[in-house]
Amino acid sequence: MSRVAARCPSCQSVFFVSAAQGVVANNLVRCGRCGHLFSVLDNLTASQPEPETVQSPSLSAMAEELKPGLDVEPVSEGGRAGLPTVQLDEFAELIIPPVTEMPKSESYAGDRPAELSFTLPNVTLDLPDDFTLTSPAAPAAGLRRSVALALFIISFALIGLVGQLVFFKLPALSQEPGYRPWLLEFCGLLSCELAAYTEPGLVRVEHLQVRAHPDLEAGLLVELVLTNTAHLEQAFPALILSFDDLSGRQIAARRLVAAEYLPKSFVQAGPMPINKAVSIRLGILDPGARALSYAVVVEQ
């Protein structure tokens, strides 16, 4: 939209006039400040109006003032020679728009403001996808893994310690009736061999007899019965055969191992059975006439 600036020749006020809207009839306009009627084309100016605060009259007052006071004087065709013909059929547009009174808000009653009521719309929070929220359960899971790893290491160390203890104490532990069955299972898995169980105090010597050997001259035949009263099978013990005189002084003695007093069938059979009598017959040389008493004991 084309607008031109016009200066009032009376009060020098500058304001815009819109040609497209038809500011005044026959190119004349009345100044909104002093009320002077002048030609727009004769008072064109290139300067821009400076903004200022002016107490503008109301629209109704301006309409009442402009309508009856508009005087139109005819202008000859010669007076407008060389100028464009502008057909104006409305009043000039004022530079400073009229100030209208702000209507009182119904929300206020006197000097006491009313309570404001409003409703917030539903807000949806969209989190970005470029990061991952850490779950509070993650530290607890990490702690559980650490505790499980520590328990595994401690258990492995304890198993190794127990294994070393069993390895170095195996001979002594193998003689304990409470541990031996478990150790037998253990060695069965690891292909190890336990020492033979021995409990000499639970081997009973019975029916001891010493007489002249029927087949050897100057020889004696010793007969006895061995019984294992222990709860486990055990190796045949070593025997001590002794001869004493009437005063109790030892005349002769001999230590006999199982290979010397057992038949070959018993040696190859294995350990001494539980609560079964084993008969022993052994031929020896006669220790002399002074050997009047004899005894066979189990070596402890």
Give the model's confidence band at 61: pLDDT under 50 very low, under 70 low, under 90 confident, else very high. low
The predicted structure's pLDDT at residue 48: 59
Same domain, yes or no, for 15 and 69? yes
Instruction: Please answer whether residues 33 and 13 qualify as being in contact, where contact means their C-beta atoms are separated by less than 8 angstroms.
Output: yes
Q: How confident is the model at residue 265 (pLDDT cuts 50, 70, 90)?
A: confident
Question: What gap in Å lies between CA 120 and CA 188, rounded to an integer?
Answer: 81
Q: Specify the number of domains making up the chain.
A: 3
pLDDT of residue 82: 42
Quick one: pLDDT at residue 241? 95
Could you tell me if 257 and 172 lie in one domain?
Answer: no
Q: What is the pLDDT of residue 177?
A: 80
Most confidently modeled range among 29-33, 117-121, 216-220, 242-246: 242-246
Domain that holds residue 160: 147-195
pLDDT of residue 77: 43
Q: 223, 221, 206, 202: which is closest to 271 by C-alpha?
A: 202
208 and 292 assigned to the same domain: yes
CATH, residue 272: 2.60.40
Domain boundary among 137, 170, 195: 195
Q: Note whether 252 and 281 are same-domain residues.
A: yes
In Å, how far are 222, 235, 276 from 171, measured between CA atoms? Answer: 34, 14, 26
Q: Which helix (H) or strand (E) holds 228?
A: strand 219-228
Domain-embedded: residue 117: no
Please tell me the predicted confidence (pLDDT) of residue 279.
92
The rounded percent of the chain whose pLDDT value lies above 70 is 65
Report pLDDT for 17: 73
What is the pLDDT at residue 162? 81
| More confident site: 217 or 25 | 217
> And the tokens for 18?
């819109």
Indicate whether 226 belongs to any domain: yes
Q: pLDDT averaged over the chain?
A: 74
- Among the three residues 195, 227, 252, which one is the final residue of a domain in this structure? 195
Cα 100 to Cα 103: distance, rounded to the nearest angstrom? 9
Higher pLDDT, 75 or 276: 276
> What per-residue confidence (pLDDT) applies to 96?
44
Q: How far is CA 103 from CA 100, 107, 296, in A?
A: 9, 11, 138
Of the two residues 252 and 123, the one the predictor is more confident about is 252
Residue range 102-122, pLDDT digits in tens: 545 444 444 444 454 445 455
- Residue 180 and residue 257 in one domain: no
Q: Are 236 and 197 in contact (CB under 8 A)?
A: no
In terms of domains, do 169 and 205 share one?
no
- φ/ψ of 285, rounded to 5, equals -80, 150
Amino acid at 87: Q
* 252 or 22, greater pLDDT: 252
| Residue 115 lies inside a defined structural domain of this protein | no
Are 262 and 188 in a shared domain? no
Tokens 């009839």, residue located:
25
Asked if residue 135 has pLDDT above 60, the reply is no
Residue 131 lies in a domain: no
Residue 111 domain flag? no
Residue 108 lies in a domain: no
Residues 188, 219 within the same domain: no
Burial degree of 199 (CB within 10 A; 0-12, 13-18, 19+) = middle
Does pLDDT of 71 surpass 80?
no
Answer with the residue of higher pLDDT: 244 or 46: 244
3-state secondary structure of 247: coil
pLDDT over threshold 60, residue 7: yes
Residue 69 placed within a domain: yes
- What integer is the mean pLDDT of 143-155? 90
Range ranked top by mean pLDDT from 27-41, 63-77, 230-244: 230-244
Asked if residue 233 and residue 213 are part of one domain, the reply reads yes
Each residue of 15-56: pLDDT tens digit?
777 765 454 456 778 887 888 888 877 877 766 555 555 455
Claim to verify: residue 178 and residue 207 sit in the same structural domain: no
244 and 189 belong to one structural domain: no
Residue 95 lies in a domain: no
Q: What are phi and psi of 256, to 5 degrees?
A: -120, 125
Work out the pLDDT band at 252, boundaries 50, 70, 90. very high
